[in-house]
Amino acid sequence: MKKYHLYGIGAALVDTEIEINDAELQSLGVEKGLMTLVDAARQQELLDKLSGHMVHAKLASGGSACNSIVAAGYFGANNYYSCKVANDEHGHFFMNDIKAAGVDADFDGDKAVGTTGKCLVLISPDAERSMNTHLGISETLSVAEINAEALARSEYFYAEGYLVTSDSGRAAAIAGRELAESNGVKTALSFSDPGMVSFFRDGLNDMLGNGVDLIFCNEAEALGWANSESLDDAVAALKQVAKTFAITLGAKGALVFDGEQLHEISGHKVAAVDTNGAGDMFAGAFLYGITNGYSYAKAGALASRAAAEVVSQYGPRLLGPRHQELLSELNR
């Protein structure tokens, strides 16, 4: 019998969210709507220039796969998360935060000397998020952080596409997929960001191996993967590397392929203020659904509703009780 619904692996980041306008983004030289890797000096430069905004900043544990695993946990899944934090204030903050969400991890292991990763999330008035990430010690996430026993006792292995940017992180994602396959654990991957598809395609192909059970991507990532402007082409391209997949379409909802049928999932009209974490929430809610007996269509409906809820507020997380309220609304 499986102990965990999900085993996730990815970066451990502490997010700082700051509201900013487009002119300020341009003056800072930040590329809108993408995740950009920066070194510590560049991140500090941005923080110094934005010091007047810091009174409004919010601190939260983050990282793409982490957000998904935490969301699934709040819905009711039993999950494990592999990551790497330093023995510093932000590292302790991160681990305490995911523990409070009911996620298992290597809480008692020795933490390395260094700096825990941080992500500066700049939110513009149209709700778009532009991320400047210093991976810190997460850049050295490796096979050593994999808990083989926990992975083998999980229903799904889930990796974030961002791991492709680090040699050791990419190797860990590949090793995790191979270990999952050898233990009959299903495999899932998120493309994470259009930049990962554009600039790290070969590495993503290595992470995919001979194909995975499930891919999550948004419309831009799907079109980029297909090198096409046609969603039909994107669907066909994804079928070559995944048995099933979900393409999020923002306010338009999503397309979900269950291996046989393509389902159109309705969107939800909300006043969007912050798109940070929308895709992560979709993946977390969807993975909760399919590991708890939901059809792909029903899991997609829950995921679409939960993602809409996230973009209507600041931050990538919902308050714990809201997850159960969304489940109750879905099952009425």
For 33, the enclosing helix (H) or strand (E) is none
Judged on CB neighbours under 10 Å (0-12, 13-18, 19+), 329 is exposed
**How large a percentage of the chain has pLDDT more than 90?**
74
Report percent pLDDT > 70 for the chain: 98
What's the pLDDT at 57? 60
pLDDT digit string, tens, across residues 292-316: 999 999 999 999 999 999 988 877 8
- The confidence score (pLDDT) of residue 313 equals 84
The class (CATH top level) of 2-9+62-113+139-329 is alpha beta
Please state the three-class secondary structure of 255-297 as a single string.
Answer: EEECCCCEEEECCCCCCCCCCCCHHHHHHHHHHHHHCCCCCHH
Residue pLDDT, tens place only, 169-205? 999 999 999 999 999 999 999 999 999 999 999 999 9
**Torsion-angle region of 65 (φ positive above 0: left; ψ -120 to 50: alpha; else: beta):** alpha
Which residues lie below 8 Å from residue 245, measured CB to CB, with a gap of 6+? 214, 215, 216, 217, 238, 239, 256, 257
Other CB atoms within 10 A of residue 56 CB = 12
From 260, 261, 198, 249, select the one nearest 224 (Cα to Cα): 198
pLDDT of 58: 67
Checking if the pLDDT of 16 tops 90, the result is no
What is the pLDDT, as a whole number, of residue 34? Answer: 87
Q: Mean pLDDT throughout 159-166?
A: 96
**pLDDT(163) > 80:** yes
Task: Please write the tens of the pLDDT for every residue from 62-101.
Answer: 899 999 999 999 999 999 999 999 999 999 999 999 998 8
Write the pLDDT tens digit of every residue in 18-77. 888 899 999 999 999 888 999 989 998 998 888 777 645 667 788 999 999 999 999 999
**DSSP code of residue 124:** P
Domain edges within the chain: 2-9+62-113+139-329
